[in-house]
Structure 1
């Protein structure tokens, strides 16, 4: 078993018309033993910028604290919220600094500029190599299942309700086929002037 799949997990970020969805399962496990069901892997940096950190749970928490420190230092120095592109470059550099002893996570960055309504999505490997697709990004042990489902349900210019339905269907169906992920999910819809978070049920066995 890969160290990246030791704790399990599933994360999605998907682009809509003028909105963005981020979703995570809530399972924390040790291999195939479930420990708790309230461990999200998608975290708010500020209301229009989120980062997903699927991978080894201890590294998820370590990297999150390092990220929050660096973001606070940036905002103190620049006196403005960090932009998604800048945040992704900062995170990529931080991971590459540790390339000879990497953190075992594969981050996902999702952001919406509330003024221009431009949406930024990217995923990285554990040493910070960035990929920036136009439609959706996925990560975690259910990555292959998520890719197949997202390719099926995604369409351009979805409104918030359609986007929520698409992400829900993709995540629920993907984690049904992955014993390392699931046990509920948290989905956040990000709009220029509104943030909505909902929890949904998935298989509990």
Structure 2
């Protein structure tokens, strides 16, 4: 009887360790930009890191999240039964885009999709351009960029996002945004 108790304890301990191994660790204090004042925060016991600042008359907002696939949030709608990372990533994008369009009133289009590494995980990057079209029918007003990166591991979904508002030079800002989200993502790791 003692042997089975020890075996049960070892299985329980090792499965807890396996779940704990998939966690987001961010050293947000290491994210710096010369001559830029950055507001930084860690929330939800380290499951969200964020940084915000003004640069070239635009507001830049970065976030990196760890979510459990079973969480009840708009970003994870219809994901709980999906197993393939590609399917999870595509549904995540669909949910993200829907939220922008329906609830935050941004009309948006996916400009590009690319494979990326998020920490050490394979994932996808989506670049969306958006506009307050419902408020301003002139497409050249209030253009915004969203860069979203998604990767999955076991029951966890990791994503980083960058939102840049008041974009005047779309192409150069997208290139700058990709470099900045790389720098921001580099201060986080998935263990």
| TM score, norm. by length of structure 2 | 0.31
| TM score, norm. by length of structure 1 | 0.29
Higher relative contact order (CA 8 A, sep 6+): 1
| Larger proportion of strand | 2
